Amino acid sequence: MHAAFHHVPGRYRGGEGDDPEGFRRRNLDGTLRLFDAARAAGLSRVVFLSTRAVYGDYPPGTRLTEDLPPRPDTLYGDVKLAAEQALAAAGLTGVSLRATGVYGPPVPGRPHKWQNLFGAFGRGETLSPRIATEVHASDLAAAVRLALTVPQPPPLLNVSDIVLDRRDLLRRYADLTGGHGRLPLPGDPKQVSEMDTTRLRSLGWRPGGLGALDGTLEALAGG
**Per-residue confidence (pLDDT) for residue 36, from 0 to 100:** 93
**Per-residue confidence (pLDDT) for residue 109, from 0 to 100:** 86
**Per-residue confidence (pLDDT) for residue 17, from 0 to 100:** 66
**Per-residue confidence (pLDDT) for residue 94, from 0 to 100:** 95
| Distance of alpha carbon 107 from alpha carbon 32, whole angstroms | 30
217, with CB counted inside 10 A (0-12, 13-18, 19+), is buried
Q: How far apart are the first and last CA of the chain?
A: 30
**Per-residue confidence (pLDDT) for residue 11, from 0 to 100:** 66
Per-residue pLDDT of the chain (223 residues; tens, 9 = 90+): 999 888 767 666 766 767 788 888 889 999 999 999 999 999 989 999 999 999 998 999 999 999 999 999 999 999 999 999 999 998 889 999 999 999 998 888 888 899 999 999 999 999 999 999 999 999 999 999 999 999 999 999 999 999 999 999 999 999 999 988 999 999 999 999 999 999 999 999 999 999 999 999 999 988 5
From residue 176, give the alpha-carbon distance in Å to each of 155, 198, 208, 218, 219.
41, 33, 19, 7, 10
Task: Kindly tell me the sign of the dihedral angle through the C-alpha atoms of 134, 59, 197, 14.
Answer: negative
